[in-house]
Structure 1
Amino acid sequence: MVELVSVAAVSENGVIGDDGELPWPSIPADKRQYRDRVAGETVILGRKTFESMLDDLPGAAQIVVSRSRSSVDTDTAHAVAGVEEAVAVAESLGAETAYVLGGGAIYELFQPHLDRMVLSRVHGEYDGDTRYPEWNTDEWTLSDSTEHDRFTLETWVRVGES
């Protein structure tokens, strides 16, 4: 079974985006750890997020959740309709882990299925139109927390997962 891991940068008030952009000034250390984490891996993302990253696609294979299958025209990308199909494609690619990269609706869709969350908790509150979904803290354990300049990197593991 593929491990599903959500990766997101989230402000203190839960905001992750504003009109398709990050609402805070660039944090190079966070971008670096994010890129290093997903490099060579299978990633799952929504069509808008995929299209916003076309010039510099993350991961070795992209699974694009979209209602419009014709929207994906890249050799490494696979269009799927939902969670089950995304997991099936990740398994067919031999992935042990698939990283869920957003946007907001995709995080919401995958939240009940996640095994882990790796969250860059950006210091400060920001205005934005997209939020990371709330989760029941009784179902999750904070397994690691590392302080960085302007963000704290947290790893959350679903209770009952190894």
Structure 2
Amino acid sequence: MELVSVAALSSNRVIGNDGELPWPSIPADKEQYRARISESPIILGRVTFESMLDDLPGTEQIVLSRTEKTFSVPTAHHAGTVAEAIEYGEHLGSETIYVIGGGKIYELFQPYVDQMVLSRVHGEYEGDSYYPEWDASDWEILTKTEYDRFTLEEWQRK
């Protein structure tokens, strides 16, 4: 099983501001993001899960939470720790599980992810949530594709 972190971040690593994207919608990014994760399980934090309830991505959601233990969505499963989330993901038997945020979740899973798929939104934005820094010497970039307003980068851990 591979863990893949998927995120959209500005050049100053901002991923969110008060629970929202800090930049105007980028339809091409949303489309590639949804297509990528739609047929796989995802790992996300409770706040991110709650913000997506009207349009949940992924086939199953592994929700990392210290407080909520059950969810009204039948495809949502609780994990209290990173280890529990990974163990449950392995139990599902999927080749790939996507880590989709928020900021603290990306930080907790950064040591465990095998790949990163990053939409690098052009420009700097104000925000209160950031994608974690990583040591570039531990990673190699596999692809870099230019789009209007963002660059899609795919990274593999060495």
Pairwise same-fold verdict (TM > 0.5): yes
The runs of at least 4 consecutive aligned structure 1 residues that moved more than 6 Å come to none
Specify the alignment match of 1:67 in structure 2. 66
Q: Give yes or no for contact 2:70–2:77 (8 Å, CA) kept in 1.
A: no
Residue number in structure 1 paired with 2:123: 124
CA-CA distance at 1:31 after TM superposition: 0.2
Q: What is the TM-score normalised by the length of structure 1? A: 0.95
Distance in 1 separating the partners of 2:20 and 2:32: 19
Q: Percent identity?
A: 63
Q: Distance in 1 between matches of 2:135 and 2:65?
A: 27
Q: Quote how far apart the aligned CAs of 1:71 are.
A: 4.9
Which segments of 5 or more consecutive residues in structure 2 lack a partner in the other structure? none
1:19-68, CA deviations, whole angstroms, 9 ceiling, x for partnerless residues? 00000000000000000000121000000000000000000000000012
The aligned runs of 1:1-162 (5 Å cut-off) are 2-159=1-158
- Kindly provide the CA deviation profile for residues 103-135 of structure 1, in whole angstroms up to 9, marking residues without a partner as x: 000000000001000000000100000110000
Output the CA distance in 2 between the equivalents of 1:156 and 1:147.
15
Cα distance in 2 for partners of 1:77, 1:150 equals: 33
Query: In 1, distance between residues paired with 2:70 and 2:100?
Result: 18
Q: CA RMSD in A?
A: 0.8
Q: Is the 8 A contact 1:43 1:61 kept in 2?
A: yes
**Partner AA of 2:50 in structure 1:** E
**SS of structure 1 residue aligned to 2:153:** strand
Q: Distance in 2 between matches of 1:95 and 1:87?
A: 11
Q: Distance in 2 between matches of 1:11 and 1:147?
A: 14
Where in structure 1 are there 5+ consecutive unaligned residues? none
Q: Is the 8 Å Cα contact of residues 61 and 75 (structure 2) preserved in structure 1?
A: yes
Amino acid at match of 1:153: L
